[in-house]
Amino acid sequence: MSLETIRVREYEEFSYVRLGEGGAERLEKATRALGARVFDFHLHYAQARQYVGLVKAGPHTVQILPKVYDGDTENLGYLLALLHYTRKLHIHPSEVAELGSSIGSFLEVWIRHFALELNRLLRTQYKQRYVEVEERVSFLRGKLLPERELDGSARLSARYACRYELFTPDHLLNRTLKFCNSLLLRQTSSASNRKILSENNVLLADVTSMPVQIEEVERLQIDRLSRDYRPILDLCRLLLRNSTLDLRAGRISQLAIVFDMAKLFEEFVAEFLRRNATEIMLGEDGHLTSVSVKKRVGRLFGQVRMEPDLILRAAGRTILLDTKYKVLSPKEGPSREDLYQMYAYGTGGDNTFSDIVLLYPAEIAAPLNSCFSQGDVRVHVRGFDLRSIYDPVKRRLNTSAVRQQLNDALSIPLTTKVAV
């Protein structure tokens, strides 16, 4: 269990002193294994980037939350709203209150998500499988193994060497679930989480308790009858792949579970537009009829694939939408790199796109309402108030506010005055 949780927010700095002796090296090693630039490491301090989640290195856990609200509870609820809506976590923001004193801990929320998913599966679809067994038995069973009979050991045991299939819950999938469940049971400090995890261990009482290697889990195949176990198996793979285990103590000594906020924001916008297409207007051209995600529009110089975040279509009109997860100053405007990229999308592909929307997080609800024009291509810069996504009082997604934000951002007339 962590001795200390260091709580930071996106792009916030924290001193190496808080990590203790050797803490900076452990943290750098843990993030290097992820292959993601979670932190920038400086001489005396580290700085978080756009990744949120947790990195556990030795006795310390660094928790990174979005920087949207003043309080950690609200920021955690906002993060959960995004993860829940994009189906990355099946835990609703309102369930955070049930964690009691552990509220505000992303690790405890993730553990709860795992515990509840596993508990539901074990109660409704507890899996037993046929497992091939080779052993000496006092009576013939299955297939006799003559090569074993001829080695002379039968005279000592007076038993038959047989190979047979046994219908049992003690197979690799359940051993993996029990092993991961037991690891998290030692990790949690929440009484409600501990209760669910302990119940899971009871339900898996007939399964052998033993360490499982990630290589074994990667080879596990999910068949048609057990496809409902795929999400929980993915969580096990995530846990084992991104962690270093102290097998003697049966504890997690190093763990990282992070999400790229830029990608998460992009996926949220895409998912919301897809689910609410009939409520979203594409300017004066009617409701959305099609939402395409990461669809190739061509190759730049014949080599570089061009894939805008979204291609939106209404009757007789197509607009490209690209999300940029960075704060945009209304005075400075978008960077030259962003404008170059949008112009390439509009002109360098198989088709020409006249209207492109650049969507930036903004601290104000109103769109930034600026437009850059070059030839037939118009790049419309719009703002999206991140605080509109989550209602911290009701602890749920604010659907009507998000819908209004996107309708405002996509209200683009066919003829637009240029403001450069």
- Give the residue from 304, 308, 112, 95 showing the smallest Cα distance to 195: 112
Residue labelled with tokens 């033993």:
210
- Give the residue from 252, 279, 106, 266 showing the smallest Cα distance to 193: 106
Residue 418: what pLDDT? Answer: 38
Highest mean pLDDT among 106-110, 256-260, 399-403: 399-403
Q: 355-362 and 377-385: which strand pairing?
A: parallel
Convert the pLDDT of each residue in 193-223 to its tens digit.
999 999 999 999 989 898 888 888 888 887 7
* pTM across the whole model: 0.80
Convert the pLDDT of each residue in 134-190 to its tens digit.
788 778 787 888 777 666 655 556 677 888 787 888 888 889 999 999 999 988 888
Residue 315: what pLDDT? Answer: 81
Dihedral sign computed on CA atoms, order 41, 46, 50, 55: positive
Q: Model confidence at 388, in pLDDT bands (50, 70, 90)? A: very high
- Helix ranges, 328-398 (H): 336-347
Q: Is 18 exposed, middle or buried (0-12, 13-18, 19+ CB in 10 A)?
A: middle
Convert the pLDDT of each residue in 327-370 to its tens digit.
877 677 788 899 988 988 888 877 788 889 999 998 654 446 68
What's the whole-number mean pLDDT along residues 18-43?
88
- DSSP bridge pairs for 14: 46
Convert the pLDDT of each residue in 31-58 to its tens digit.
887 788 899 999 999 999 999 999 988 7
Can you point out the beta strands (E) in 200-343? 243-246, 251-260, 290-293, 298-300, 304-306, 310-314, 317-323
Q: Cβ–Cβ contacts within 10 Å for residue 86, how many?
A: 18
Residue-wise burial string across 104-142, b where 16 or more C-beta atoms lie within 10 A, e elsewhere = bbbbbbbbbbbbbbbbebbeeeeeebeeeeeebeeeeee
pLDDT at 406 over 50: yes
The percent of residues above 70 in pLDDT, for the chain, comes to: 87
Residue 419: what pLDDT? Answer: 37
Residue 66: what pLDDT? Answer: 94
pLDDT at 1 over 50: no
What's the whole-number mean pLDDT along residues 212-239?
85
Residue 38: what pLDDT? Answer: 92
Q: Which residues contact 273 (CB under 8 A, 6 or more apart)?
A: 280, 288, 291, 310, 312, 406
Residue 375: what pLDDT? Answer: 85
Cα dihedral 206, 209, 215, 216 in deg (nearest 10): -20
Q: Which residues contact 407 (CB under 8 A, 6 or more apart)?
A: 280, 281
* Distance, first Cα to last Cα, the chain: 55
What's the whole-number mean pLDDT along residues 374-400?
90
Q: Please give the mean pLDDT across all residues of the chain.
A: 83
Residues 397 and 81 sit within 8 Å (Cβ to Cβ): yes
